[in-house]
A and B are shown apart, each in its own frame.
Chain A
Amino acid sequence: MSEIPETGREIRGAGVSPQALDDWFAREVLPLEPQLMQFLHHNWRNKADIADLRQDVYVRIYEAAQKQIPSPARPFVFAVARNLLIDRLRKAQVVPIEAVADVDILGFASDAPNPERSLAARDELRRLQGALERLAPRCREAFVLGRIQGLSRTEIAARMGVSEDTVTEHLTKGMRALANILYGDDHGRTP
């Protein structure tokens, strides 16, 4: 017995509900983050700007999708990223515009099946485990106790022998680092 896979989903209708929009964003856009980060790193010299650029790309995508959800997502995501970089460069007035015109989106924007979405369950699990292993030890301990074992903040504090505020700190750091690792930002940005 094997599963009959889904071959596609389309969100219908003009007015997009916030929930549907969030779901779409999580399902279609976030899995592209590794390639998006790669694209940004490839095309932007100042690495300190990357997190802000990523956020601005996401904001532009989200705002556009409120009116109509673009389908397929991938070419749209990279078109937005490219336009954003061009806008930034123009504003910075450091590069003549013609040099910017060919900001490289080749190889990023094709609507090939998204590798992330076809991840086998085993790979997904390995990835989650790998991600957990990369957290700082205390952070990981708090995260595992809280997320996997389902302990409360008070219980985690007691087990780890630290204050609840410290647990909160570990957990929030863990959440942020895990998102970066899961979405494949391998460029060493740990909060």
Chain B
Amino acid sequence: MSEAFETGAMEIEARAAAWLERRNFGRWSEEDEAGLDAWLAGSPAHRVAFVRLSTAWERAGRMAALAPEIPAQSVPPFRVTGPFLFRIAAVFAVLAVIAAGAIAYLEAPRERTYSTAIGGRELVKFADGSRIELNTNTVLRARMTTSERVVWLDHGEAYFEIKHDAAHPFVVMAGAHRVTDMGTKFRMRRDKGRLQVSVVQGRVTFDTPDSGKLSPLEVLTPGDVAVATAKSVSVRRESAQDLTDQLSWRQGVLVFDHTTLAQAAAEFNRYNTDKLVIADAQLARRTIGGTFPTNNLEAFIGVTQDLLGLHVKRSAHAIVISR
């Protein structure tokens, strides 16, 4: 509904501020969280008001990030008593110190964090011509400067198209593992203690620096897929078709080819908050093929119902498939 004239933007804003204040300063329980969610879901007017206030709040918090850097001695403690104006002056004394540090902090090239929610996908382009595309539920930090280009893949999956620069290699760190680009397109996926690197074009080197042992440096070429766990690293060859299928998320679809129901469910569950559960082990081993939109669980469920004749039971956040 768009006709919020009668609702009163000012009243809604006041409610949003009350929620935000409580979330930051009050006791915040699961019921409060549920209450806020319900209020936000009640109307887009609520949601935009809340997003607007919390964004301003975050911006103000950038200054707070610097507070720990203030040397305790040089700042008059806040326990300042006396005339009101003097107390305000004390507040500004602190602000001035914060400001000095803040300028240095904010201007220094810094790590930027990019993240996507479950079901989200985002492409980030950089001035050097490099592009990074984030798949669902991914957190990635980047320090992109003219002297070094480093990305940390904290979790999730990303596709990299990197403009090669021999003097300034592009490095991706994933836990203890390091992937160094040598002019290329590649994909990395990190989840549950497992890292996968697939090279689509060009070459990358793969190693585990600082592991204490002499770590072998693998050179990966197109079609190579390296899989690393805490214990081992293996490299296998995959067909061009397999590589394309692994990247089908860039078009918003999942491609299954003789994929077990268990694997298919696990894939869908990366993209959706409602989780698919396959009821028993034997059923989980049955295979399926096809192309499905990542965010369209219903299409997949329809196929399992119609073609495989399976039963589907829905609960709050789970969809159980059984025989």
Chain A contacts to B: CB under 8 angstroms: 1-20, 22, 25-26, 30, 51-52, 54-56, 58-60, 62-63, 84, 120-122, 124-125, 128-129, 131-132, 137, 140-141, 143-150, 152-153, 159, 167-168, 171-173, 175-176, 178-179, 182-183, 191
Contacts and interface: CB of A to CB of B under 8 A. Distances in A.
Contacts of B252: 12-14
Chain A contact residues, majority secondary structure: helix
B91 interface: yes
Given A56-B4, A63-B2, A141 B88 contact: yes
Contacts of A15: 119, 295-296
A13 B294 contact: yes
A144 B90 CA distance: 11
28 contacts: A5-B127, A6-B112, A9-B124, A10-B122, A11-B120, A13-B294, A17-B117, A26-B52, A51-B10, A55-B45, A55-B49, A56-B2, A56-B4, A58-B48, A59-B4, A59-B48, A121-B103, A144-B91, A144-B94, A146-B25, A148-B94, A148-B95, A149-B78, A168-B21, A175-B20, A176-B13, A176-B17, A183-B56
A25 B109 CA distance: 25
A102 to B, nearest CB: 23
Contact of A17 (B45, B53, B119): B119
A57 B52 CA distance: 13
Contacts of A16: 120
Contact of B64 (A137, A147, A167): A147
A175 B125 CA distance: 33
A137 B3 CA distance: 36
Contact of B293 (A7, A14, A122): A14
A1 B17 contact: no
A62 B8 contact: no
A33 to B, nearest CB: 8
Contacts of A176: 13-14, 17, 53
Contacts of B124: 6, 8-9
Contact of A52 (B8, B21, B56, B64): B8
